Structure 1
């Protein structure tokens, strides 16, 4: 039977690969942004997968708990804190990127990266 950690690593890899495909090969800017979000969440999942501990407990020392047993069985809290911070920063960055996408749509009337780049260079030739 496949372990939980290995399954989690496969899911993280799939998210990263799907996100890379969307960010590189799809022309729509919204879909590119979603692809970048997939990459970010795949990396977060990968970090959590690496620190997964089979049978691990929440890293909160309760009163009366044996310290040695706790140290051997508790999950490592630093990656969890880093991923939580990454999620908050990613949500803010995603909001800014979507605002910029709205600005591009208002300016160029399209969400096609190809059309926007062609319009940008066409406008630059006239000046």
Structure 2
């Protein structure tokens, strides 16, 4: 039981993931869908950061004069941080493109509700 509670960051990940997925699937408003997509992305960021932590691990920097054979150390993997930085940039650009599309849809249709836009497309 305590092991499950000790992994609270994975519970938060699952909760955020489900909230984001729910918003993307069920909300008819395009702006709310984008917010759900951002929550979904934040959950993925949390997952990568949670997987990165190595108990007792240090930054992968070898000090001057240290010999790996005589002084073994446990290092944390820096790759997840690099992937998160890249994902943040991609997430920001995706959000800005999505908001630009929402503005353009609002100008063209006068609404940002998915069902109303679909109805207008079918009638024209």
The TM-score, its normalising length taken from structure 1, stands at 0.83
Residue number in structure 2 paired with 1:43? 44
Q: Which runs of 4+ in 1 moved over 2 A?
A: 54-70
Change beyond 3 A, Cα 1:66–1:110? farther
2-structure distance, mates of 1:26, 1:62: 53
Q: CA deviation at 1:39?
A: 1.1
Cα distance in 1 for residues equivalent to 2:53 and 2:95: 27
Provide the rounded CA distance (Å) in 2 between the counterparts of 1:84 and 1:60. Answer: 20
Q: Partner residue of 2:112?
A: 111
Query: How is 1:49-60 mapped onto 2 (pairs within 5 angstroms)?
Result: 49-60=50-61
**Gapped regions of structure 2 (runs ≥ 5):** none
Greater shift, 48-57 or 32-41, is seen at 48-57
Higher helix share: 1
Give the distance between the partners of 1:50 and 1:31, measured in 2 at CA.
29
Question: Over the residues paired in the alignment, what is the CA RMSD in angstroms?
Answer: 1.7
Identify if the C-alpha distance between structure 1 residues 122 and 42 changes in structure 2 by more than 3 Å, giving closer, same or farther: same
Alignment partner, residue 96 of structure 1: 97
- Matching residue of 1:85: 86
Q: Tell me by how many angstroms 1:54 deviates.
A: 2.5
Deviation of 1:105 (Å):
0.8
CA offset at residue 8 of structure 1?
Answer: 1.2
Equivalent position of 2:23 in the other structure: 22
Uncovered stretches (5+) of structure 1, i.e. residues with no partner: none
